[in-house]
């Protein structure tokens, strides 16, 4: 008698979900490198060079919205306050949240053995993921000060 | 997806997986760290903009902001983001060209050679608070 195993059972169910997320994780992982590099280069070319510490460089790379560097010595220019960089930032955050919360789901599936508990944990993860997306949308599109 | 491990903690600690195990462990730890930091950051920023700063939520958001803007947290985030990115790149490349998996050990040493200078130099600059 083989004990039922959540991860093995899901692999046999015929659902493409795991394959899709496996592919999504890899594609977005590569995408983050290019998106981070682009916003970092752009920030340094448009006046950031010489005015940022390493932390500010990281903040520009992963969330190129002007209010994100108000706490650093950078002069906040309107360069990043246009719809292109808003869409760019929101896509970056949405992909990152999906990549990250999917990763948490994979890790928790490895350690939680009780199916009911796992279902609740997944529901909470889904809720947190949506909360982060909504908060990020407000930060990018509404609180533009 | 790994099968569920049914081993005791002492046995798990005694398992000598070497480099691949260290990479797997660091990838998970850095991944969890990034998810927690980014979620905390987004939610704290959201509440800083949307509620009174004197309310309980505002005070909690202030405390969270002070926590993740502290230097040790920033250095940890640099470590986590860089390690996760470089290790992830190795996994993606080896998955794309499975024939290269036999060079995994060498790839891991190359990975450390790339990661260490990329982490230590900015970390030193952050600790010395240099403007780049």
Determine contact, residues B94/A15, Cβ cutoff 8 Å.
no
Q: Do A54 and B46 make contact, defined as CB atoms within 8 angstroms?
A: no
- Whether the predicted pLDDT of B30 surpasses 50: yes
> Which DSSP string corresponds to B16-41?
--HHHHHHHHHHHHHHHHHHHHHHHH
DSSP-H helix ranges across chain A? 6-12, 17-43, 54-62, 83-111, 115-137
Poorest-confidence range of A63-77, B67-81, B116-130?
A: A63-77
pTM of the model: 0.84
- Whether the predicted pLDDT of B1 surpasses 50: no
- The pLDDT-based confidence of A125 (bands split at 50, 70, 90) is very high
User: Residue A2's pLDDT is what?
Assistant: 46
CA B81 centroid distance within chain: 5
Determine contact, residues A106/A125, Cβ cutoff 8 Å.
no
Longest dimension (CA), chain A: 67
- Whether the predicted pLDDT of B121 surpasses 60: yes
Q: Which of B105, B86, B110 is nearest to B20 (CA)?
A: B105
Per-residue pLDDT, averaged over B62-82, amounts to 88
- For testing the chain B interface, which of A45, A89, A135, A141 should be mutated: the one with the most B CBs within 10 Å? A135
Q: Which of B17, B69, B22, B45 is nearest to A144 (CA)?
A: B45
Measured in angstroms, the CA of B120 and the nearest CA of chain A are apart by 12
Per-residue pLDDT, averaged over B51-63, amounts to 84
Residue B130 sits at φ, ψ, to 5 deg, of -90, 140
Separation of first and last alpha carbons in chain B: 42
Q: What is the mean pLDDT of chain A?
A: 81
User: Residue A144's pLDDT is what?
Assistant: 65
Exposed / middle / buried, residue B15 (Cβ in 10 Å: 0-12, 13-18, 19+): exposed
The answer to whether B45 contacts chain A (CB < 8 Å) is: yes
Q: Which residue has the higher pLDDT, B85 or A86?
A: B85
**Cβ-proximal residues to A52 (8 Å cutoff; 6+ apart), any chain:** A43, A44, A60, A69, A72, A73, A74, B131, B132
Measured in angstroms, the CA of B21 and the nearest CA of chain A are apart by 15
CA B33-B5-B111 angle, to 5 degrees, is 45
> Which DSSP string corresponds to B65-76?
HHHHTSHHHHHH
Residue A5 token pair: 């195993």
Percent pLDDT > 70 in chain A is 77
Q: What is the mean pLDDT of chain B?
A: 87
User: Residue A57's pLDDT is what?
Assistant: 77
Q: Which of A57, A65, A80 is nearest to A136 (CA)?
A: A65
Q: Which residue has the higher pLDDT, A101 or A9?
A: A101
The ipTM, to two decimals, is 0.84
Q: Do B31 and A52 make contact, defined as CB atoms within 8 angstroms?
A: no
The answer to whether A136 contacts chain B (CB < 8 Å) is: yes
User: Residue A44's pLDDT is what?
Assistant: 78
- Whether the predicted pLDDT of A132 surpasses 90: yes
Residue B48 sits at φ, ψ, to 5 deg, of -60, -35
**Cβ-proximal residues to A139 (8 Å cutoff; 6+ apart), any chain:** A65, B42, B45, B46, B49
- Whether the predicted pLDDT of B37 surpasses 50: yes
Model confidence pLDDT, tens digit, residues A36-59: 898 888 877 776 677 777 777 777
Model confidence pLDDT, tens digit, residues A4-34: 455 555 555 678 999 999 999 999 999 999 9
Q: Do B132 and A139 make contact, defined as CB atoms within 8 angstroms?
A: no
């Amino acid at each position: 008698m083989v004990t039922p195993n959540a991860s093995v059972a899901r692999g046999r169910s015929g659902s493409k979900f795991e394959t899709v997320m496996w592919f999504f994780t890899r594609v977005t992982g590569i995408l983050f490198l290019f998106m981070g590099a682009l916003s970092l280069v752009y920030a340094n070319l448009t006046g950031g060079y010489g005015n940022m510490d390493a932390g500010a460089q990281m903040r520009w790379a992963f969330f190129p919205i002007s209010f994100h560097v108000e706490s650093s010595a950078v002069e906040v220019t309107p360069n990043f306050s246009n719809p292109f960089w808003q869409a760019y930032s929101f896509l970056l955050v949405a992909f990152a949240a999906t990549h990250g919360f999917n990763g948490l789901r994979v890790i928790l599936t490895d350690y939680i053995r009780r199916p009911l508990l796992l279902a609740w944990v997944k529901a909470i993860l889904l809720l947190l993921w949506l909360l982060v997306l909504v908060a990020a949308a407000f930060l990018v599109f509404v609180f533009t000060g | 997806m790994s099968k569920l491990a049914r081993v005791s903690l002492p046995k798990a600690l005694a398992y000598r997986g070497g480099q691949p195990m260290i990479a797997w462990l660091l990838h998970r730890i850095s991944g969890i760290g990034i998810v927690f930091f980014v979620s905390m950051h987004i939610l704290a920023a959201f509440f800083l903009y949307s509620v009174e700063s004197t309310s309980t939520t505002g005070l909690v958001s202030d405390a969270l902001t002070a926590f993740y803007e502290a230097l040790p947290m920033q250095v940890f985030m640099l470590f986590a983001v860089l390690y996760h990115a470089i290790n992830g790149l190795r996994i993606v490349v080896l998955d794309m060209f499975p024939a290269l998996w036999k060079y995994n050990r060498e790839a891991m040493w190359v990975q450390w050679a790339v990661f260490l200078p990329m982490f230590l130099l900015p970390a030193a600059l952050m600790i010395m608070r240099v403007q780049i």
